[in-house]
Structure 1
Amino acid sequence: MRTFPVIRVVTKILIPYILLFAFYVQFHGDFGPGGGFQAGVIFASALILYGLVFGLESVKRVAPPMVIEKLMALGVVVYGMTGVLTLALGGNFLDYAVLEHHFYPHIFPTGQHLGIFLVELGVGITVTSVMTMIFYSFAGRKRIV
C-alpha cells in the first residue's frame, strides 16, 4: 500500500472516528439498540482496516497476539463473574435486580444498568479480540500453490 498515499491518509483520519463510534455503541448499548457485540465488531474493524492498509506486522505491533489472547479470556471472565456476583448476592445467575442495593448509587450505576453494562463490556472485549485473532489467522496464512 505504499504506492497509495491517499488510502493511507484517509485510513489515519477514519480510524479514530471508527473507534469513537465503537465506544459510543458500547457505552450506550443498554439505552438503545447495540451493545457489546456490535461495538466489538466495529472496534475490530478499525484494527482490521489498519492491518489491511499498513500490513499485518504493523497491526501486530499495535495489538500483539499475546494481548489479544488474554483479552479473549478476560471478556468471558467479566461476563461470567457478573453472573457469579449476582449468585453471591442471593439472586439467580445474571439476575441484575440484586445489584440494586449493594452499591453506592452516586458513584456506580446500580441494578439493571450495572448488570447490563458489565455483561455488554465482557461481550465487547471478547468479540473484539476474537474478530482480531480471526483476522490474524487468515492474514498470516501462507499461499499454497
Structure 2
Amino acid sequence: MPDLKSKPEPQHLSRVGDPHVVLRVVSKFLIPLIALFALYVQFHGDYGPGGGFQAGVILAASVILYALIFGLDAAKAAFPPSWIRIGMTLGVLLYGGTGVVAWFLGGEFLNYSVLAHDPSHGQHYGILVIELGVLVTVTTVMIAIFYAFGSRQPETSEDDW
C-alpha cells in the first residue's frame, strides 16, 4: 500500500509563502545595477574618484550579496572557485605584464609612455590595463576570502553537547 503521507518540501525550496520573496526579487534587480556601478567607477577613475580597487570591492559586494541571499552553493555555482583562482592569477599578470611589456619596449618598468605612438596615449592605455588588473584581482580576492569564511564549518567539542 502506498504511503499517503508525503514528505513536506524543504522550506528553502518552497517558493509559496516564502518570507524572503521581496528580498529575492529586489536583489535580482539591484545586483546588476551594483555591477554596472562598479564598471562606472572603474572607467571614470581616470577623471574622478574611483579606479580598480574601489570598483573591485563594489563588484565583489554584488557577488557577496548574491551569496547572502541565494546561498553560498548558488554563488559557487555562478562563480566557481576555479574561476576565482584564474581571476586572481590573471589580474596579477595584467598588472605585472604591463610593466614587463613597457620594459621590453625600451621604457622603464610600469612607465606606460612607450606603449603607444604618443606618450600620452601610452599613459592612457597603460593605466587602463593596470586598473583592469587591479579590478580583477581585488574582485576575485574579496570573493575568495568570502568563500573561505562562508565555507568554514563550526568547531564542536564534547563540551558543547
Q: Provide TM-score, normalisation by structure 1.
A: 0.91
Residue 87 of structure 1, CA deviation: 0.4
What is the one-letter code of the residue matched to 2:27?
A: T
Looking at both structures, which has the greater relative contact order when contacts are Cα pairs under 8 Å and sequence separation is at least 6? 1
Task: Find the counterpart in structure 2 of residue 70 from structure 1.
Answer: 86
- Provide the C-alpha distance between the structure 2 equivalents of 1:96 and 1:70, rounded to a whole number of angstroms: 25
Distance 2:100 2:59 in 1: 27
Unaligned segments of structure 1, at least 5 residues: 103-108
Matched, 1:100 2:116: yes
- Deviation of 1:110 (Å): 2.6
Aligned residues: 140
Aligned-partner Cα distance in 2 for 1:57–1:100: 45
Q: Which has the larger radius of gyration?
A: 2
User: What residue in structure 2 maps to residue 91 of structure 1?
Assistant: 107
Match of 1:136 in 2: 147
Q: Deviations over 1:64-96 (max 9, x none)?
A: 001111110000000001000110111111111
Query: Structure 1 residue 5 and structure 2 residue 21: aligned?
Result: yes
Task: List gaps (5 residues or longer) in structure 2.
Answer: 1-11, 13-17, 157-161
Choose from 33, 41, 55 the match for 1:39: 55
Residue 122 of structure 1 aligns with an amino acid whose one-letter code is: G
Give the counterpart of 1:51 among 67, 77, 83: 67
Give the percent of matched residue pairs that are identical in Structure 1 and Structure 2. 57
The one-letter code matched in structure 2 to 1:21 is F
Q: Normalising by the residue count of structure 2, what TM-score does the alignment of the two structures yield?
A: 0.82
Distance 1:38 1:134 in 2: 17
